[in-house]
Amino acid sequence: LAMWAVAVASAVAVVGVDPGGYPNGMTGPIRGWRSWNAVTSDVTQSFIERQISAIAERRMSVDGVPTSLLDLGFNRVGIDSGWASCTGVNGSWHDSTGHFIINTTKFPSMKSMVDFAHSKNVKIDFYLNQDVDPGWHGCKSEGQIHGAAANTGNFASYHNDIADMVALGFDGVKFDAGGGNDDMNRWAAEINASGREVLIENCNNGGYVPYPQKSSAKVPPGGCPFNMFRTGIDEAPSPLSTVSNLMDTNRYLDVSKPGCYAYPDMLEMGAPVVGPYASRPDTAHPAGRSSQCGPNDGTHSDTAPRLSLEQGTAQFAAWCTVSSPTILGFDLGNSTEYERWFPVLSNRLALEVQASWAGVAGKLLSQGPGFTTVVPHGATCEDMKDTRTLPSYSVWGKPIESDATAGTFKAWAITAINSVDTPQKVSVELSQLGLPNAVTVTDVWTNATAEVTTAWSVTLPAGTHRFVVLRASAP
């Protein structure tokens, strides 16, 4: 296992090729952790350091070998909103000299936190251009400060924010939408000029790949000034929400590629329905911040909005099958949740599927008849609930090995998800995948194998999934 773990980690780790944020050597789908789903904006330095320690600790075993998430390629820890002090100019998070202000009550020494991550060989990622919803973030955006044009922000902040971030030693950054500084090309240029290789996440910022109703927007024609880009609204800890975001991602899979991966959102496995302080009084939202997740936000077979083991495993399978970054969002220091999800996250074949590249990020192969349902969004379902039509089942595929000489594929990964409370039969013709008429089917989770000809077919029980690899049988 040790040799395999090193090989897999190297396939997704940062390789120092070109300085700067874009282009850079970060070409594989990223694996890591970010704070929002666990604690929303109530993040602190001590909590982040808890995650750094947990991701690097070898407290579980794979094939008898002590193994950490870091060994498996989950090599990043990221801060989300909540680190800034809103004591700057006109209630913003920048001082009169144009530099950002850290909330030192919550983060007494951000530099020492970054150094602590690096001492554990963990990459650490920052968060900028924060949303201005006062219920979560509290600060005014630069675009709301007198004299700054809407949606352009304070141009000095582009340079200063990156200079300050680089000085602290961060290895990546998530640019959120709604903070006023929305020019992703400008952000990337500032990172490039810094000379530091920095992973860039575009979270619906800058008018590119924004919320799903803007279906014409894709990666900008001049290139992709980010390593990963969000393709829809924030997820809720509901299987309806995860499938909805997966469907939104489908329209971007044709432009998803190494160095520029489409990203439905963070993984919801283990994430609480609400953060520990999410019900605090909130004058901007008179009803308070209590969870808006309801008892019917799951399938009829599992009505809890917090993902079951089956639902979280299905999400992980689907994310691997469309080459998405896999960013965890539960408290890694919670032993119960860590031990619950580690067998899924350490599955050798699943990680190989995610890391493989045979020319296609993944695609929707088929879907069942639609059903209309209310879908929640956001960590506490707070963003909104809306009515959407989702497929009764969806089948996703990704070629993972090609035959360059023959111009065909030798192996595909398939994830099939049943989103309703009745059994669904799905079938994939081998000819549809460019595979020969006989293949070996390997179940990713059980490692069971079977030989099939012509088509792979399965009946999915209510609310379940299958994750398999189809490989051309030996002649």
What are the pLDDT digits (tens) for 184-215?
Answer: 888 888 998 998 999 999 887 655 444 333 33
Say whether the peptide bond before residue 23 is cis (omega within 30 degrees of 0). Answer: yes
Q: Quick one: average pLDDT of 105-110?
A: 97
pLDDT at 49: 98
Give whichever of 173-182, 366-375, 451-460 has the largest mean pLDDT.
451-460
Q: Which residues contact 401 (CB under 8 A, 6 or more apart)?
A: 356, 358, 409, 410, 411, 471
Asked if residue 289 has pLDDT above 90, the reply is: no
Q: Quick one: average pLDDT of 151-171?
A: 82
Band of residue 168 on the pLDDT scale cut at 50, 70, 90? very high
In DSSP terms, 173 is beta-bridged to 126, 200
Asked if residue 367 has pLDDT above 50, the reply is: yes
Q: Quick one: average pLDDT of 407-416?
A: 93
pLDDT at 204: 76
pLDDT at 243: 95
Give Cα 298 to chain centroid, integer Å.
20
Instruction: Confirm if 11 and 28 have CB atoms less than 8 A apart.
Output: yes
Say whether the peptide bond before residue 66 is cis (omega within 30 degrees of 0). Answer: no
Asked if residue 88 has pLDDT above 60, the reply is: yes
Q: Quick one: average pLDDT of 261-280?
A: 70
pLDDT at 206: 57
Query: DSSP strand E in 129-240: where?
Result: 172-175, 199-202, 228-230
Say which DSSP state 85 is in. -
Asked if residue 245 has pLDDT above 80, the reply is: yes
What is the C-alpha to C-alpha distance for residues 428 and 177, in angstroms, rounded to an integer? 38
What is the C-alpha to C-alpha distance for residues 268 and 261, in angstroms, rounded to an integer? 19
Between residues 428 and 176, the one the model is more confident about:
428
Q: Quick one: average pLDDT of 75-96?
A: 88
pLDDT at 141: 55
Q: Quick one: average pLDDT of 95-122?
A: 95
pLDDT at 464: 95
pLDDT at 277: 32
